[in-house]
Amino acid sequence: MRRPLLNRRLAGMGTTIFAEMSALAVRTGSINLGQGFPDTDGPAEVAEAAARAIREGHGNQYPPGPGIPELRQAVADHQRRFYGLEYDPETEVLVTAGATEAIAAALLALLEPGDEVIALEPYYDSYAACIAMAGAVRVPVTLHPPDFALDPDQLRRAVTPRTRLLLINSPHNPTGAVLSREELTAIAELACERDLLVVTDEVYEHLVYDGHEHVPLASLPGMRERTVSISSAGKTFSFTGWKIGWVTSTPELVTAVRTAKQFLTYVSGGPFQYAVAEALRLPESYFTGLRDDLRQRRDLLAAGLAEAGFTVYAPKGTYFITTDIRSLGEEDGMAFCRSLPERCGVVAIPNVVFYDDEKAGRPLVRFAFCKRPEVLTSAVDRLRQLGRQRQAHRR
Ligand SMILES: *Cc1c(COP(=O)(O)O)cnc(C)c1O
């Protein structure tokens, strides 16, 4: 037998569900509430800043490895402005090709083969792949509906002598949970007690609703020196195609992450780095406006999904609503999502792909609400057919 081409670490990773479902949306002409990207671009002045940078010759050649100084300074200023966190832009900030590269570089830099990584389940799909590429072992701690709260005892029980790192994500994709100060304190205490590193993905830091607060894990006592914080411009500025992300941490951890990063992309997005440096300095009204806008869209989609018969777990943050389809008489989210385009012309994501515990994820389905209100309204109109189909079926 010939050896399989794809190595053992990546075996079974297949194609990401987002590619499969987005292709299905195109093929069937469905409304795509699967992948989390906005259907309107971010601020015109930020787009203009990128165009100006290209025209004026800023960043058209390889930018510096750690990122342009203007962006590193803007990231440091952003951390101070919103959270009172101090980072030295020279040694404690690293610009990456989106949060995705930051996650990959952090895990590849910090893990030895066989190390255990505790990740909140359901987990963003790149976590599993990067842990595997590092040869490490994923240990999920499951968040359960209705509120997807973290059980600190379950987290504590997951730690073994082989645990190297906690991989945290808040605001949390796909559940929309936002870890409370109490939950974060439990994580911080455990990390300090067991001397664990923490990588925290905070790309939805500005998308938190209803007066809930995003608390960066690095702001808790004892955490700054052990935490690699990751964010990016994609979600905050509605330019997910630009792929400008960043890491903030100690000089030692930033150096480690940069060592891996330099051999992944080396550098990326020169002109976009200039534009994002300007975007991070937008006034408060931009950030509150974005949040209010998305909250309204969340409410529109949540009400429509509930009317259509889904059990809706209202998210505190992010772009996503997780639903349970058992109230529609359905059991299997994967089969449901594969048939949904045919049945009513809408695409969603089956949460089971974010789980090791297939039973926990099976009936859950994720919808993205980062779309224009008229798109959400017509998606909801289409989804109402599900209830009607069900009644017709019963008759
Ligand atoms: C979108 C997303 C990312 C990827 O961010 P990029 O900056 O586009 O690479 C990372 N983590 C989570 C949880 C996300 O939802």
Per-residue pLDDT, 219: 98
Tell which residue, 387, 260, 241, 268, has the closest CA to residue 328.
387
Q: Are 25 and 34 in contact (CB under 8 A)?
A: yes
Task: Classify 309 as helix, strand or coil.
Answer: coil
Tell which residue, 264, 277, 240, 305, has the closest CA to residue 77.
277
Low-confidence ranges of the chain (pLDDT < 50): none
The token pair at 378 is 């017509």
Ligand 1, residues 169, 229, 235, 265: which to mutate, most atoms within 8 A of Cβ? 235
As a whole number of Å, the end-to-end CA separation of the chain is: 54
Per-residue pLDDT, 15: 80
Per-residue pLDDT, 12: 83
Per-residue pLDDT, 17: 85
CATH architecture of the domain with range 44-283: 3-Layer(aba) Sandwich (3.40)
Cβ of 117 below 6 Å from ligand 1: no
Per-residue pLDDT, 104: 98
Q: Where are the domains of the chain?
A: 8-42+285-390, 44-283
Ligand 1, residues 203, 246, 354: which to mutate, most atoms within 8 A of Cβ? 203
Cβ of 89 below 6 Å from ligand 1: no
Per-residue pLDDT, 150: 98
Per-residue pLDDT, 14: 79
Q: Are 216 and 207 in contact (CB under 8 A)?
A: no
Cβ of 96 below 6 Å from ligand 1: no
For residue range 18-66, what is the model confidence (pLDDT) as tens digits?
888 999 999 999 999 998 899 999 999 999 999 999 999 999 999 999 9
Q: Are 31 and 25 in contact (CB under 8 A)?
A: yes
Task: Classify 365 as helix, strand or coil.
Answer: strand
CATH number of 8-42+285-390: 3.90.1150.10
> Going by C-beta distance under 8 Å and a sequence separation of 6 or more, which residues neighbour residue 11?
4
